[in-house]
Amino acid sequence: MALPFQSLLSKCKTFEQIKQVQSHLITTGHFQICPSRTKLLEICAISPSGNLIYATQIFKTIKFPSTSDWNAIIRGFAKSNVPKHAFKYYKSSFFSNRPDALTCSFVLKACARILAIFQARQIHCHVIRFGFQADALLLTTLLDVYAKVGDFDNAQRLFDEMGVRDIATWNVLISGLAQGSRARDALDLFKRMGFQGLKRNEVTVLGALSACSQLGALGEGEAVYSFVKENGLDGNVQVCNAVIDMYAKCGSVEKAKNVFDSINCSKSLVSWNTMIMGFAMHGHGVDALELFNEMGRVGVVPDGITYLAALFACNHAGLVSDGLGLFRAMVDSGVRPNVKHFGSVVDLLGRAGRLEEAHQMITSMPMVPDVVLWQTLLGASKTFGNVAMAERASRALVEMGSNSDGDFVLLSNIYAARERWDDVGRVREAMRSRNVKKVPGFSFIEVEGVIHKFINGDQSHPGWREIYRKLDEIGFRVKEYGYVPETCYVLHDIGEEEKEIALCHHSEKLAIAFGLISTGAGTSIQVIKNLRICGDCHVVFKLISKIYEREIIVRDRSRFHRFKEGSCSCGDYW
């Protein structure tokens, strides 16, 4: 008699229908038959027509709930907007029943949603204690939690200990590593799958392409793309979007556009957004706006992300009037601007030196401005040497409780440029009292498939002596072309000679020097930097590109600079 009731419950479309079936179960005595009762709890706790609170009330009337009953409630809370309550029921379940593998799986999904690492480790212990290690699906769920919370040591250990690894195990770890700043490990795992002859699917490829994008590893990204084409995965628009993103972030916007064009009629909105952002990152503002306009011609409706990408393109190309017009068009089209859109307009005005207008935009926007907006204004104030505006932005940041090293460094830079050393000292004292540490600058360069990392003044690289000799040579040759070190970019109240040495040893210069001695003549050099490239390095790289006849591509934290024949793609506007 249980099965007809279960079938009836499955057909319920409204909460009232669920309650009617419940009444039948109670009056006919079938409520005490476990399958029917559990199905009622599942439908009530999980389905869109159900009610989780009502499900818990039903649950409390059960004198001896089964493991399946507990699972229904735990699963319901794991999927709800209060997943932490799943833990409470999980603990309570121990008093009447032993959890099964499904119980652990449901509560682990709650852990993944709220990044509850302590609870996940406890459940891992229970998995071992109850002997569930053979359940590949459960271990994959646990692996997903470890990956999402960034506990990659436990994730790797669990992965290595698994007796059976299906493709979902592999994919979880690759994606987790790629998203958790362990891109190199993600790529190594992708290759390991290939060496072991394991099948790699669209999800595997998406993780690998994401890793390549983070590393700026063009060679490896192209190898992944070759795999995509060889295995017929280039028909998947999501994979193609990831390839576009990879090429753009690895410095080849032309190849990104080729892939974009190859998608033809199956382009998604994400395809358009990714390509527009790719043009924006490279300073191709006109191309980005042309693509934006093409969307309208083919009937693709832009969303907030599209407008943000187009505004970003205007920022980095100095297209102020276009950007302001785009913002007005967005509002007129009914797309509600968020704080990022306002921030983009503030950046647009700030880069153009229209600081008062930028300040007015911040103070008149309909939502509370975030820290980034004031930091943007502070950065623009530094660029144009506006001490008064910088101090206004700095005060706002302090009032908001910002403790970012960049805020203090920018203000200190402004004072140092004016040789106001007392004020520089005051800023440094404030940093010490707040225990603010400056984020060190570092740069990456890939040579023959190996990623080399440099920090400012680095002497840890095995070839550092040869690198420094190359720097000396570069310094001598660029001065022959009239280069004068821009020592205003050095904060310290020290002599000019010491400032020149500090500038010479910036991480990106070390990476470029290494690239020059490690690659053949005419080979382009690509560097990734975690911070904004400084003005002095920008001048030097233009000269290096001319003197050594090398194309140099630098990706800093916000955009690309392509140096060639003595000029930069940014047009000295960044």
Q: What is the DSSP string of 88-114?
A: HHHHHHTTTS---HHHHHHHHHHHHHH
Spatial contact of 492 and 415, defined as CB atoms under 8 Å apart: no
Query: How confident is the model over 56-115, as pLDDT tens digits?
Result: 888 888 888 888 889 988 998 898 888 999 999 888 888 877 889 999 999 999 998 988
The letter for the amino acid at 568 is: C
Q: 3-state class of 115 per DSSP?
A: coil
Distance CA 341, CA 355 (A): 17
Mean pLDDT is lowest, of 3-17, 281-295, 315-329, 475-489, for 3-17
Distance, CA of 302 to chain centre: 22
Spatial contact of 145 and 112, defined as CB atoms under 8 Å apart: yes
How is residue 235 annotated by DSSP?
G
For residue 274, count other CB atoms closer than 10 A to its CB.
24
Distance CA 28, CA 197 (A): 57
- Assess whether 423 and 481 both reside in one domain: no
Q: Is residue 412 part of a domain?
A: yes
H-run or E-run covering 44: helix 34-46
Confidence bin at 346 (pLDDT 50/70/90): very high
- Assess whether 494 and 527 both reside in one domain: yes
Q: Is residue 74 part of a domain?
A: no
Q: Is residue 434 part of a domain?
A: yes
Tokens of 204: 């595997």
The residue among 223, 226, 284, 294 whose CA lies nearest residue 251 is: 284
Spatial contact of 511 and 443, defined as CB atoms under 8 Å apart: yes
Nearest 5°: phi and psi at 441? -80, 135
Burial 169-187 (b: 16+ CB within 10 A, else e): bbbbbbbbbbbbebbbbbb
Domain assignment of residue 537, given as a range: 442-568
**Across residues 286-310, what is the average pLDDT?**
95
Query: Which alpha helices (H) appear in 401-534, and where do they start and end?
Result: 405-417, 421-433, 464-480, 496-504, 507-518
The residue among 511, 198, 557 whose CA lies nearest residue 375 is: 557
Nearest 5°: phi and psi at 18? -60, -45
Q: What is the predicted pLDDT for the residue at 225? A: 96
Residues in the chain: 574
- Assess whether 449 and 562 both reside in one domain: yes
Q: Give percent of the chain with pLDDT exceeding 70.
A: 91
How is residue 489 annotated by DSSP?
G
- Assess whether 450 and 562 both reside in one domain: yes
Q: Is residue 148 part of a domain?
A: no
The residue among 230, 282, 236, 278 whose CA lies nearest residue 258 is: 278
**pTM for this entry:** 0.78
Q: Which residue has the higher pLDDT, 65 or 269?
A: 269
Residue 241 exposed, middle or buried by CB count within 10 Å (0-12, 13-18, 19+): buried
Q: Is residue 228 part of a domain?
A: no
Q: Is residue 528 part of a domain?
A: yes
CA distances 381 to 276, 313, 362, 483, Å, are 28, 21, 14, 26
Residue 301 exposed, middle or buried by CB count within 10 Å (0-12, 13-18, 19+): exposed
- Assess whether 461 and 558 both reside in one domain: yes
Residue 526 β-bridge partners: 553
- Assess whether 458 and 561 both reside in one domain: yes
Q: What is the predicted pLDDT for the residue at 108? A: 93
CA distances 317 to 68, 285, 289, 361, 378, Å, are 60, 5, 11, 20, 20
Q: 3-state class of 207 per DSSP?
A: helix
- Assess whether 385 and 435 both reside in one domain: yes
Tokens of 500: 């020149």
- Assess whether 446 and 519 both reside in one domain: yes
Tokens of 153: 């040591």
Count of structural domains, the chain: 2
Q: Is the predicted pLDDT of residue 2 greater than 50, yes or no?
A: no
- Sheet arrangement for strand 567-568: 450-455, 442-447, 525-529, 552-555, 560-564, 567-568
Residue 442 β-bridge partners: 455
- Assess whether 506 and 450 both reside in one domain: yes
- Assess whether 548 and 453 both reside in one domain: yes
Distance CA 151, CA 173 (A): 11
Confidence bin at 503 (pLDDT 50/70/90): low
Query: How confident is the model over 179-222, as pLDDT tens digits?
Result: 877 888 899 999 998 888 889 999 999 999 999 998 888 889 99
- Assess whether 503 and 532 both reside in one domain: yes
Domain closes at, from 417, 439, 461: 439
Q: 3-state class of 434 per DSSP?
A: coil
Confidence bin at 496 (pLDDT 50/70/90): very low
Distance CA 165, CA 167 (A): 7
Spatial contact of 54 and 44, defined as CB atoms under 8 Å apart: yes
Confidence bin at 18 (pLDDT 50/70/90): low
Phi-psi region of 224 (alpha: psi -120 to 50; beta: other; left: phi over 0): alpha
Query: How confident is the model over 538-561, as pLDDT tens digits?
Result: 999 999 999 999 999 999 887 889
Distance CA 281, CA 275 (A): 10
Domain closes at, from 397, 412, 439: 439
Q: Is residue 107 part of a domain?
A: no
Q: Is the predicted pLDDT of residue 502 greater than 90, yes or no?
A: no
Q: Is residue 545 part of a domain?
A: yes
Domain closes at, from 439, 456, 487: 439
- Assess whether 545 and 449 both reside in one domain: yes
Spatial contact of 427 and 498, defined as CB atoms under 8 Å apart: no
Q: What is the predicted pLDDT for the residue at 461? A: 92
**Across residues 297-302, what is the average pLDDT?**
94
Average pLDDT over all residues of the chain: 86
